Each structure stands twice: as structure tokens, then as C-alpha cells.
Amino acid sequence: MKLTFSIRGVGALLVAAALLFAPLILAEQNYLLRVLITGITYAIAVYGLNIILGFTGQLSLAHGGFFGIGVYTMGLLTTDYDWSFWGALLAAIVLTTVVGFLAGLLALRTREAYFAVFTMALGLIIYMIISRWEDVTHAYSGVLGVKLPENIGPLDFSEPATYYYLLLVFLAAAAYVTYTLRVSNVGRRLLAIRTSEDLASSIGINVGLNKQLAFTASAGFAGLGGALFASAEGFIGPNSSSIDLTFELLMFLLVGGVATVMGPIVGTLLVLALFEAFQDFQAYRFILLGPVIIALVIYAPQGLIGRLNELTLRWKRRRAAAPKTPAGPPDSDSPADPNDEKAEVR
Amino acid sequence: MLMQVRGLSKTFGGLHAVEDVSFDIAEGEITAIIGPNGAGKSTLFNLITGFYRPTAGSVTFKAKDITGHPAHRTAQAGVARTFQTTKLFEHSSIAENVLAGCAAGSRSTLIDAVFRTPRHRREEKASMDKTLELLEFTGILEFKDEIAANVPHEVQKRAAVALALATEPELLLLDEPAAGITEDETARFGQLIRQIVARGVTVGLVEHKMSLIMSLADSILVLDQGRRIAWGTPEEVRSDPRVIEAYLGAGSQGSTSQEDGIQERTPGQGA
Amino acid sequence: MSQKSRSTLRPLIALSTVSLLALTSCGNGGGDGEGGTITIGVTGPQSGGGALYGENVEAGIRLAIDELNEQGVTIDGEEYTVEMRALDDEYQPNAAATNAQRLVEQDDASVVFIPHAGGIHAAQEINTSRSDFLIGAYSSDRRIIERDNELTFMISPPFVSYSEPFIRIFQEEQGAERLGLLATASEYGQQWTTMITQDWEDAGGEVLSNNNFDYGAVSDFASSVARTLSDDPDVILVGGPSQTTALVIEEARDQGYEGGFMIMDQAKFEELELFTDPENLNNSAGVKPVAEFDDPGTDSLVERFAEDITEERPITAETSLNFQAVALVVKAMEIAGTHEDPAAIREAMPEAAAEVDDVFRVSGFPDEVTDEGLLISDSLEGAYRDSEGNYEYFPMDIE
Amino acid sequence: MTLFVQQFFNGLSLGGVYCLAAIGLTLVFGVLRIPNLAHGALYMVGAYLTYFFLTSAGVPYILAIALAALVLAGIGIGMERVVFHPLRNAPHTHHMIAAAGAMFFLHSLIQAIWGADFRRMESPITGRVEILGTQVSWQRVTIVITAVVVLIALTWFIKRTVHGQSIEAVEQDRVGASLVGINPNRVSMLTFGLAAALVAVAAGLVAPINLLYPTMGDVIMVKVFAIIILGGLGSIPGAIVGGFTLGMAEVMATTYVSAVAGEVIAFVVLILVLAIRPTGLLTKAVQR
């Protein structure tokens, strides 16, 4: 059993290794590195979306908006107000978290379809504010010259590879938090809510509070992704808060696998790679991608990673549990076989 | 008294689903709630456990007023329940289901989890041990890795009990635990309920199978049309003319006897 | 177990991700550039609301390239074929910058045409640092050359050039005093509005309430029109995409408005005429239609646009100005003797302006390329359609 | 005063269009519990179909709208079969994502067929009529009249015909409806078809005073969502009241406040309503 445990980690390790060595492989390939950098900032936001959608089952369509708040906090503070990158980053996280918290107070009174539509309206309002509040956000003119992180000792972040590794640290943090959620009591509480709110409250889970916390954290991650995005791009415009972005983030998550640990990053990079491959028919790519999205939702709603998890689970079970027959219910007096494989409940 | 219910009432749009019901649940006993279809049994459960907010009346648990507390707070206070249509986290394994019950009561926060604080590790370990112990107690340890939706009905029922017990309740309310399982299985389930009481957990149950109730219950509350028509020991209730009348009236289309209890009601029928 | 299911297949995902990344990097082998091909990069909107605009820009570049290939391009004694590579950015600044970098690195383009200010700004963040390429900036937002980006040239006349003649026509010649605002609420429309508000008031006129609305996102604009008219304006600033602009003008006429229109340079007379009864356009000032120019190459380009691109719509400045710019930049490559060094190409542009073949002189060909990167044409004109429906042309100073 | 009267008619015609578009969306939600994000795309396709029949096939205007409604009903039914039927037991998130996929697909498809150009559809209904001292275009009068006629016909259909009653039955009680022998499959298709036909009529009516382009549905979709939330998801009277209210509010906000106010009002109203009543204004409180 220990063996399979390590096999499981191998996949994640390989993805991590690929990401770690990407700048070396892509030396002189600024363009691909740039795509990768953008992808990672998106993926961080997707990890955020994963918390609310994956772990509590509520579809938030405001995440493009939260991303945009992060983008503009970073963008405006480092230019018009001449803050440092690090200060602005902190401010972006705090602000999106606060906005997420306040929005959650209202939004979480609604459920399911209402929640989705409510958050959609919320996202649109954020977009409208960003694209219309000329005096503050410069509206469609956008913001020029967003700062890169200030150097820390020998680390020069104007070097794309160095900046890339900084992003990787944030990405790893996002993935680690998700992993932790997946295997801890906190995550189990959220997953319980996703499956059945009634059952969850019957075992003492404060559904409202947990959803509120999840939504708040979820918004914070989206804001973090947005702030990093702004800095990576240098120039920002209102599009970085649009509803289209929300749907893109959603697609990344869906392709990768909702409620999985590796899904957000794998999904994001995979879809971006697909976009790149389809560059030549950009305008018509959705003639193909639209049906692909629909097919995914119908036939593989658990996403790539989710699907693979299922397959391995089945394989493992066939191997391990082959002799066991679902015998009649056990006699309640007889203790269970203590020789049964030592349960590792994860 | 572990729980005291006084004058509890609930109206839905002018209809009295539960009207002025009072009874006690004594510590260490098994209290059964019976009554014909639509008598308000499930509604009563939902009122006690905080899923509905009562229109009037009070619920006291361990001398504390918990009237109208939201469901999760009632659960945290030590009242666990199962549902009539067995509810489980059906895409998770049996063990994960029970773990969820442990998780619900855990104090650890995301911060603890991220930094793997001692508290976190301690709780994780405790949760795991408790889960295995409960699975063994309910006799479904060998199903621990099966997905909840795929296991036999009886295992699901037992898993629901294990899940409820994982929250370490002092009072466990079972909503029709024996619905839809065979006679043999029902008998074994009765066994389990006794063991639960032996663990020190008081049990309240809504049930139709008279055989089960008569052999288990220390006291019985009989409801009809939302009102209490009898409350006492099985012997007292058995001979109460109003109970006999209610049951004969309700069972007039089909043959019913006190021994066999009312016919199973159609699933999905609410209060 | 099982939440943490162990996946033997998981390495496969990793592999496929890596291989996909590798796959995308395959295309960049480079190579082809050396085989006698010059790639002109374009990133513009091919989908979404701006798609037609993007198509028009691309059409100009494509027509110029066809013409150049017919004539033959020789750089440093070697024959080259010119190619266009166009990517969709959906009007998004960041996508434009990403595309530009891709065009430069993977397709060896040293010039990238970008037809929107946002994309230009975003590309300027990288074109002299992380990458090295010349931006063919098609936008009339003057800020794009005010950032001291030495690898940018501005193809479109800055819109500030329109302010002075517009105000002269309406305020001085017609005695108009009250200006209504009903332009599109895009960045561009707002800038125009700010400029004209300032200038109009400086010239002693009165500016009425601002009723700008997003031409691309309103389901019914009759109410905005009605509100503007209720202020009783003498002249109204309109403009955005031609088609919507035409409807706005028509709605105003339908509601009984008889004053004049100042039409922002994004909308073009020749397109407006298609979308509404031309009579509605009487008493308006705007951009001179391409076909009305008398330059040596005008007629042939108008013809070729109809033949090679479409007969459904007339050619506009979006096509003709980019057409000219491509010829200019390729000529600069010939003079500089390189198609790979953006700085050298940019440096050769002033000299190239005089040497471009007549067939590329279509609608006010630049006589001069300033150090800032502004293309200046002495023959640029604006158009005024009088109350009889006749066009008069007036000179404009590019500044 | 004339300004007000004029804007009142503008609000009325805009409201009529919103109504027609919103009823379809609310019907689909009521019957299938799906917020169909592709509704705006259907609206757009409806406009292009009308355009096609009117200009390319040379059919008279009203007939062109009817034909477009018919064809779009077919597309709507197809969408129900291919996209939503397989997802009928899936969580609501899946529907919304699949619907978004369908929306993007339709955008691309229409752009591939008709190009990204703005297109103008000339209506044969021209000229203006004087009402209460102000000039109102016949097209707007037509919109209001048609909207009212269609709404009456729809009410008759739902209240008086077997098919219509089956829709209402499923909307009110899914389990009960299947117990009395109503085929939920049939009703789903019927609903989707009807919703598509209604939105095609809305698009056909508004096309002459607006422009056709592949993303034209996005703006109206958001508004229409605001309307049905306002009126209560699944409520037809709610959609009608909400449609006219929002149309009027938008026009009046534009007139008496500012253009931006007109654009934002829908969302502000939406957020306010949901904040106060999380299930919309006209829904009966759902009993848990």
C-alpha cells in the first residue's frame, strides 16, 4: 500500500518538475515563458474558484470580477500611487478578501442557480465599475507601467525566469492549500456541504459560516492571481475583469478536474496549450471548442484529473479487493478482521 | 430528563403539522415516536433538531433551551440524527463519510491544517481512530473503502448511524431506521440500537415496524394529526383506546394489526 | 483512502502536459525566415464586436503584400517574399502583447501591426525590452507616441487634428453654440469627448450634457438620443463603429433633429451612407472617404478591394492607411538592407517615405516620418457634407 | 412633457422585447430548473434567421419572423436533446457550463456563416405616427402590439391547450405531473421549442431598430436574467412585469439621470432584489 501511495505522488512530482525546469527548457523562448507565466497567474485564480465550486459546490460567476479587483489594485497602486509591488500585492489580497467576504454575506443567502446568477450580476457590476470609473481606473485607457517586484538581494525579477519562479512559489502555495483542504477536516466539512447541506448541518457543520469562509478565501486567491497577472503583463485593461474571463477560468477548472489538487494547473495549461494550437483559427475556435466543452460536461464532468483518479481507484480496487465478495451484512457481534489492510483512510 | 419538549407547534401556511406536543426523553432510554402517515412525526424530528423553526413551544436539552437553534448548533450541542431517506455523502467512501462526522466536530482551522500544527495532527489521528472504531462497532468495517452509493441498503443504514455517532452525540434520533430492510436485518438493527444505548447514547426513533418498537422502546409517544394522543410505556400505549382508534381509522383501507404495525408508507412522503 | 487516490496514470498527464508544451515550441524552429520570406505580423480583433474592424485592417495589409510580391522585394541583393501572419486578440491588450511576442519569436516577424491603442500600449511594455520588434500602431490616440518608444510608428493621424477644423466649421462658419455629446463610451470615444469639450468651450461654445453610451452594449439607444435632443443642441458629436453611428444619426433625424453632426474618425462617411439614407448625413463633418482622394494609387486600390476582398462594403481608411504603411515599412527594409533589425528599419523610414512606389500612394501618403514616429501627410483632408449633400474637403494639420 | 411621452413609448417597446425574451428563459427555468446561459445566443441566431428570410429569401417581414421562430424552435429542441437532456440529472453547474459552451459555439458559427460585420435589417414598416403630441415610429408601435398579441396567445396556449397545461403542470409539480402521465421529455422539448420561438420573435422585432452582429445577444441576455430574477425564476407573470419594469426603468434612468445609469440599473436592481429576497420578488416562498 505504501507503494501505491508513492506512485500517486509521482504524477504530481512530474508536473512539478516540468514546471520547475520549464525556464531551462524554454531558454530563449520568451514567448512560451510568457504564456506559461500568464497561465500560472490564471491557475492561481482557478485554485480560488476550485475552493468555492469544488469544495462547496456553488458556482460563482464573479471570479473574473475578483480577479479584476486584484489586477486593478496592483495596477493602480504601483502606478498612480507609487506603492511597492509587495505592498500592492498585500493590499490586493486584503481588498479582494474583504470584497469577497462582503459579497458572500449577500450572495450566500441565495443557493444554486440563484447564487450563480447573483454572482454573475456581481461580476458584471465589478466590470462596469472598472470599465467606467474613468477618474480612478482610467477605464478603457488602461493602466501603463505596472511594476514588477522589487529586487530582493540578488533576485532580479525583471528577469522573466526569476519572476516565473516567484509565481511558482505562489502556485505551489495555492496547490498546497488545496491539498490540505482535500485531506483535512476543514475540507471534509466543505465537501460534506457540497454533497448535502441538510446532512452537513445534521452532523453539526455550520453550513453558512463554512460557505462564507470558503467564498472569502476563494475570492482572495482570485485576487492574488489577478495582482500577479497585472505585474506580469505590465499593462492592464478592463478586459481582465470581464465575464468572459470567468468562463475561461471555469473551463480551465472543468477540464482539469473540479475539487482535485492538480486539476487547476493541469487544466489551465492544457487549455492554454490548446488555444495556442488553435491560434490560426482563433475566430472560429469555438466551433470546435464549444462542443468539446459540452462533451466534457456530459461525458467527463469530473475533469481530466478527476477521471484519472477514478480509473486508478477502480484499478486499485480490482487488484486489492478482488477476493472480497459483498457478503451479507456482518454479524454485529463479530469484530471486523483485524488483519484487514491497515486502514489509511486517505 | 435529557430532553424536554413542551407545547411544540408548527404551522405551514395555516395547517397545523405539529400542535402542542409535549414529552420527555429520559437519559439512557429508548423513546419511540409512532403514528399514522402524516401524523407529524418527521416534522417533530425536524423541529427538535433545528431544521424547522417552531411556531410555538420549547425544546430543552440538558437543561438548556435550544428552541429554534439552527441545525448545526443543535448537533453541536449533542443531538445527532439520521434521515428517513437515508442520507450519506454518496460519492465518498464509507470511511470518508464517518470521517466527515469527525471533521464536523473538529476545532482545527485551515491555518492548523496548512501548518500541520500539533493540534491538527492530534485531531487527524483521533478522527482516524474514532472512524475505525465506529465502523467496527456498527459492523461495517469491511466496507470502509466502498463508495457509499454502491453498498447494500443495510450497510448504508448502518453507515448513517456511524456517521451520526461520529459527532459524539448524547442523543441520537433515528428517522425510520428500519424502513426498507428485511425482517432479519431489522432484528439485527434492533441489536445495534441496544448496543448504542449501552454505549451511553440515548436513542429516540420514529418507526413503523411495531415489532421493533415493542421489543425496544422504554417509552412511546403516539401522534395523530400533529397532536399527542398517548405517551407512556409500551404496555400503556398498547391498551390505550385512542391509539387503537387512530390506528384502525388510519388503516381502514388495509388490514393492520397492532403487532405488525402500520403498513410501510410510501417513500418520499413528507410530514 | 481514495480521496487521495493514487494514480499510475498521473505521470501520463504530466507527460502529456510536457509534450504539449514541447509541441507548441516545435513550430518555432525558425529557419523559414532565412529562406527569403519576410513575415509581417498582425494582431487584431478577428472575433467579437471588433472583428470587422480587424478584417479591414488585415485587408489593407494583405493587399499591400500582394502588390509588393508582384513587384518583387529585394533586400541586400536577395529576393524576398512577403507574408502576413495574423492572430486574433479579441481587442484585448494583453492578448495583443502575447500575440506580438509569439509573432516575433515563432514567426520571425520584426514588424507587428496592432490596430488598437490598448494592444499598442501593452506591446510597448515588451517591444524594446523582453523582445525586439517594431510596432505598426494603427490608432489615432496620440499617447502611443508620447511614451518615447523608439520602435513605434503611428499610422493614423492623431484625432486631435480634427478638433480645430471641426470647430471652425460649426462654430465660426455656422455660428453653432450648443454642442451635444452622443458618442460611444469607449476609451477612444471618451478621449475624443474630453478633447472636443475642452476645445469647444475654449472657443466660446457651450457643451451640453454628456450622453455617451457604449455603442456595442446597448439594446435600445433611442432614449439617449431623445435626451440629447431635449437639450436643443446645434451640433452633436457622434461616432463609434460606422454602423451604429449611422443608426444613431438616423434616430436623431427621425426624432426631428435638423442640426449638424461631428463624426468621430472611427466612423466613415462611405460606410455611413450604406447604413442610412445619405440625406440624414447632411450637415456633417468627418473623415474624407478613401475613394474621394486623387492620389496616384487610389483608384487601383479601390478596385482591388472590391475584387479581392469584398464588394459588399466600400474600402475605408482602415484599409488604405495600413496598405500605405506596409509599403512604407517594406521600403524601409530595402533601404536599411535588413528585415530583421527593427531599429534599422525604423531609422530608414523617413527616407523611405519619399521612395515608395506611386501605386501605394492612396489616401494622403506620408511625406514625413517624425522622430516621435508620427507619419505626416501634407495632403490630408477632412470632409464636410453640406446641407445639399455635396462633399467639401478641408485641409488638416497633423500635429 | 413630450420628452416623457416619447420615452414612455420607447420604454414600452423595449419592455415588450424584454418580455418576449424573458418569458422563454423563465419557462425553461420553471420546467427544467436550468438557467440557460445560451438564451442570448438563441436570440442572436433568431435575429440572423429573420434577416436571412427577409433579405436573402425575400419573404415578407411578418412571415420571416414566423419562419425564424419555427426554425429556431427546431434549434432549441435540438439543443435540449443534445445538450441538456443528457445532463438532466447532473448538478446545476454542469448545465450552466454546457450552456456557455453552446453560446460560444453559436457565436462562432454565426460569425463563420455571416461574418463579423454589423448588419442592418431594413424593416418594411417605416414612418411615424403621432401619439399624444409626439412622434413614435411605426416599428415601435408594431413591437408593442406584437408583444401584446404574442403574450395573449401564449397565455391562451398555456391555460387552454393540452400541451400548454402540461408545461404548467410540470412547472408546478414535476413528480405529480409524471404521476398523471405527462411525459416530462416531451414537455422539456416543447418548452425549449416555445422559448426559442418566443426569443426569435423578440429578435425579429428589434432587429430593424438595432444592428445584427454575432455577440448582440450578450447584452440582452444579462438584462433578461435580471428580469427573470426580479420576477422570480419560473414565473411568467413575473417575467412580464419584470420585462416592462426594466425596459421602462432603463429608458427613464437614461433620460433623467445619465446614460451610464441606464446601463447599470438592471444590475443594481438585481443585486438589491436578491439581497432583500434571495428567491426573487414574485416567487412563493419555497417550503423546505
Q: Would you list the domain boundaries of chain B?
A: 26-52+69-78+171-271, 89-168
Best of B96, B114, B154 to disrupt the A interface (most A CBs within 10 Å) is B114
Query: Tens digit of pLDDT for each residue in B35-76?
Result: 887 778 888 888 888 888 888 888 988 888 888 888 888 888
CA distance A252 to A264: 7
Q: Please, what is the average pLDDT of chain B?
A: 80
Subunits touching A (CB < 8 Å, at least 3 pairs)?
A: B, C, D
Mean pLDDT for the stretch of residues C60-78: 91
Q: How far apart are CA D167 and CA D177, in angstroms?
A: 9
Does residue C174 carry a pLDDT above 90?
no
Domain B26-52+69-78+171-271 coded CATH 3.40.190.10: no
For residue D182, what pLDDT is reported? 76
C-alpha cell at A262: 492538480
D111, D135, D260: residue with CB nearest C47? D111
| Interface contact flag, A180 B113, Cβ < 8 Å | yes
If one counts the domains in chain D, the total is 1
Find the residue in D nearest to C182 (Cα).
D259
Do residues A112 and D93 make contact, with C-beta atoms less than 8 angstroms apart? no
The mean of the pLDDT values for chain A is 79
Task: Return the pLDDT at C15.
Answer: 41
Burial track B19-38 (b if 16+ CB lie within 10 A, e otherwise): bebebbbeeeebbbbbbbeb
Which structural domain range is residue D21 located in? 13-214
Residue A146 contacts residue A82 (beta carbons within 8 Å): no
Distance CA C132, CA C8 (A): 44
pLDDT, greater one: C393 or A111 = C393
Q: Which of D94, D219, D220 to mutate to test the interface with A (most CBs of A within 10 A)?
A: D94
B46 → chain D, closest CA residue: D288
Strongest mean pLDDT among C46-50, C253-257, D38-42: D38-42
Contact C79, C68 (CB under 8 A): no
Q: Which residue among A53, A122, A290 sits closest to D101, beta carbon to beta carbon?
A: A290
Q: What is the full DSSP assignment across C178-220?
A: EEEE--B-SHHHHHHHHHHHHHHHHTT-EEEEE--B-TTS-S-
The two most distant CA atoms of chain D are separated, in Å, by 57
Give B13→chain D minimum CA distance, Å.
10
Which is nearest to D172 in space by CA: D234, D263, D102, D99?
Answer: D234
Nearest CA distance, C145 vs chain D (angstrom)? 30
CA distance D287 to chain B (A): 9
Is the sign of the CA dihedral A198, A202, A205, A206 positive or negative? positive
- Three-state DSSP class for residue D286: coil
Reported confidence tier of residue A317, pLDDT bands at 50, 70, 90: low
Partners of C374 in beta bridges: C154
CA angle D146, D152, D156 (to 5 degrees): 140
State how far residue A200 is from chain C, nearest Cα, in angstroms: 18
Give the sign of the dihedral formed by CA B34, CA B39, CA B44, CA B46: positive
- Preferred mutation among C53, C221, C223, C319 to probe D, highest tally of D CBs within 10 A: C223
**Cα Rg of chain C (Å, integer):** 23
pLDDT value of residue A228: 93
Mutate to test the interface with D, among C47, C186, C219 (most CBs of D within 10 A): C219
User: Nearest Cβ partner of D287 from B12, B51, B268?
Assistant: B12
**Closest by Cβ to A284, choosing from D97, D112, D271:** D112
A-chain CB neighbours of C5 within 8 Å are 8, 309-310, 312-313, 316
Banded pLDDT at C218 (limits 50, 70, 90): low
D window 144-183, beta carbon within 8 A of B: 175
Q: How far is B174 from chain A (nearest CA, A)?
A: 12
CATH class of C160-264: alpha beta
Cβ pair D163, D190 in contact under 8 A: yes
**What order do you get walking across the sheet with C152-154 strand by strand?**
C73-75, C78-88, C37-44, C111-114, C134-137, C152-154
CATH number where A262 lies: 1.10.3470
Model confidence over B74-114: pLDDT tens digits? 888 889 888 877 678 877 788 888 888 887 766 666 677 77
Architecture of domain C31-159+293-379: 3-Layer(aba) Sandwich (3.40)
Give the minimum alpha-carbon distance from B124 to chain C in angstroms, rounded to a whole number.
Answer: 14
Report the domain count for chain A: 1
CB B131 within 8 A of CB B140: no
Asked if the model's pLDDT at residue B265 lies above 50, the reply is no
Backbone dihedral angles phi then psi of residue D255, each to the nearest 5 degrees: -70, -45
- CA-CA distance, C66 to C73, in Å (whole number)? 11
Which residue shows C-alpha cell 402517515? B37
Give the list of residues 6+ apart from residue C136 with CB closer than 8 angstroms, or none. C111, C112, C113, C114, C153, C155, C322, C325, C326, C329
Q: Give the burial string for D6-45 (b: 16+ CB within 10 Å, else e).
A: bbbbbbbbbbbbbbbbbbbbbbbbbbbbbbbbbbbbbbbb
pLDDT over 50 (residue C26): no
Q: Using an 8 Å CB-CB cutoff, list chain C residues near D137.
A: 254
Task: Please tell me the distance from the alpha carbon of residue A83 to that of residue D121, in angstroms, as a whole number.
Answer: 52
Question: Average pLDDT over chain C, rounded to whole?
Answer: 84
Where b means 16+ CB within 10 Å and e means fewer, D211-247 reads bbbbbbbbbbbbbbbbbbbbbbbbbbebbbbbbbbbb
Touching check for D126 and chain C: CB below 8 Å? no
Q: pLDDT at position C6, please? A: 36
Question: C-alpha distances in angstroms, C78 versus B159, C35, C334, D204?
Answer: 81, 10, 10, 58
Nearest-CA distance D209 → chain A (Å): 25
Instruction: Please report all neighbours of D, defined by 3+ CB atom pairs within 8 A.
Output: A, B, C
The answer for A149, left when phi > 0, alpha when psi is -120 to 50, beta otherwise, is beta
β C260-263/C235-238 pair status: parallel
Distance CA C85, CA C44 (A): 11
Q: Cα–Cα distance between B164 and C346 in angstroms, integer?
A: 76
How do residues A136-163 score in pLDDT, each as one tens digit?
877 767 777 788 888 787 777 777 788 8
pLDDT band at C333 (very low <50, low <70, confident <90, very high): very high
Q: Residue D67: which of D82, D80, D51, D50 has the closest Cα?
A: D50
Q: Are B102 and B127 in contact (CB under 8 A)?
A: yes
D135 and chain C: CB distance < 8 Å anywhere?
yes
Q: Would the CB atoms of D288 and B12 count as touching at under 8 Å?
A: no
* Single-letter code of the amino acid located at A82: D
Alpha carbon separation from C176 to C168, C200, C212, C250, C390 (Å, rounded): 10, 10, 20, 21, 20
Pairing of strands B219-224, C178-181: unpaired
Q: Is B30 helix (H, G, I), strand (E, B) or coil?
A: strand
- Give D213's contacts in chain C (Cβ within 8 Å): 49
User: From the CA of A216, how many Å to the nearest CA of chain C?
Assistant: 24
Using CB atoms, which residue from C20, C130, C191 is nearest to A160? Answer: C130
CB C343 within 8 A of CB C150: yes
Decide: B265 and B11 in contact? Cβ < 8 Å.
no
Cβ burial of D130 (10 Å; 0-12, 13-18, 19+) is exposed
Q: What is the separation of C-alpha C81 from the centre of its chain, rounded to a whole number of angstroms?
A: 25
The reply to whether A331 falls in a domain is no
Cβ atoms of D230 and D246 within 8 Å: the answer is yes
Report the chain A residue with the minimal C-alpha distance to residue B85: A199
Could B75 and A337 be called an inter-chain contact, meaning their C-beta atoms sit closer than 8 Å? no
Radius of gyration of chain A (CA): 22
What is the percent of chain D where pLDDT is above 90?
19
Tens of pLDDT, residue by residue over B165-214, are 888 889 998 888 877 778 888 888 888 888 889 988 999 988 877 778 88
Report the gap between the CA of A124 and the closest CA in chain D (Å): 8
By C-alpha distance, the chain D residue nearest B51 is D288
Which of B21, B66, B70 is closest to B43 using CA atoms? B21
Q: What are phi and psi of C293, to 5 degrees?
A: -75, 155
**pLDDT tens sequence across A186-221:** 777 888 888 888 888 888 888 888 889 899 999 999
Q: What is the nearest CA distance from A331 to chain B, expressed in angstroms? A: 7
Conformational region of residue C389, where left means phi above 0, alpha means psi within -120 to 50, and beta covers everything else = left
What is the domain extent for residue A286? 11-312
Interchain CB distance below 8 Å, D13 and C220: yes
Cross-chain Cβ contact A195/B89 below 8 Å: yes
The answer to whether C327 and C307 have CB atoms below 8 angstroms apart is no
Question: Measured between alpha carbons, how far is A50 from A190 in angstroms, rounded to an integer?
Answer: 12
Residue C164, C-beta contacts closer than 8 angstroms, at least 6 positions apart: C199, C396, C397
Touching partners of B (3+ C-beta pairs < 8 Å) = A, C, D
Provide the number of CB pairs (under 8 Å) joining chain A to chain D: 122
Which value does ipTM take for this structure? 0.76
Q: Is C375 helix (H, G, I), strand (E, B) or coil?
A: strand
Say if strands B3-12 and B56-61 run parallel, antiparallel, or are unpaired: antiparallel
CA distances from D36 to A116, A235, A240, A300, D43 (A): 12, 35, 25, 20, 12
CB-based contact C43:C114 (threshold 8 Å): yes
**D193 falls in which pLDDT band (50, 70, 90)?**
very high
pLDDT at A281 over 70: no
pLDDT at A298: 86
Instruction: Please tell me which of the candidates D118, D140, D251 has its beta carbon nearest to residue C52.
Output: D118
- pLDDT for C219 equals 65
Q: What is the mean pLDDT of residues B100-129?
A: 76
* Chain B positions in Cβ-Cβ contact with residue A203 (cut-off 8 Å): 75, 80, 100-101, 104, 163-164, 166-167
- Interchain contact, D274 vs A118, CB within 8 Å: yes
- Subunit contact C5:A8, Cβ cutoff 8 A: yes
- Centroid of chain to Cα B234: 19
The pLDDT score that the predictor gives to residue C25 is 42
- Residue type for position D181: G
Phi, psi of D131 (to 5 degrees): -125, 125
Contacts of A51 (CB under 8 A, 6+ apart): A178, A181, A190, A214, A217, A218, A221
Residues of C with CB under 8 A from a CB of D: 46-49, 51-52, 54-55, 185, 209-214, 217-220, 222-224, 226-227, 230, 241-244, 246-247, 254-256, 275, 312-313
Q: Average pLDDT in the C224-239 region?
A: 91
Q: Where are the strands (E) in B192-261, listed by range?
A: 202-206, 219-224, 227-232
> With contacts defined as CB-CB under 8 Å, which chain A residues touch C124?
235
Inter-chain CB proximity A125 and D33 less than 8 Å: no
| CA distance linking residue C256 with residue C281, whole number of Å | 14
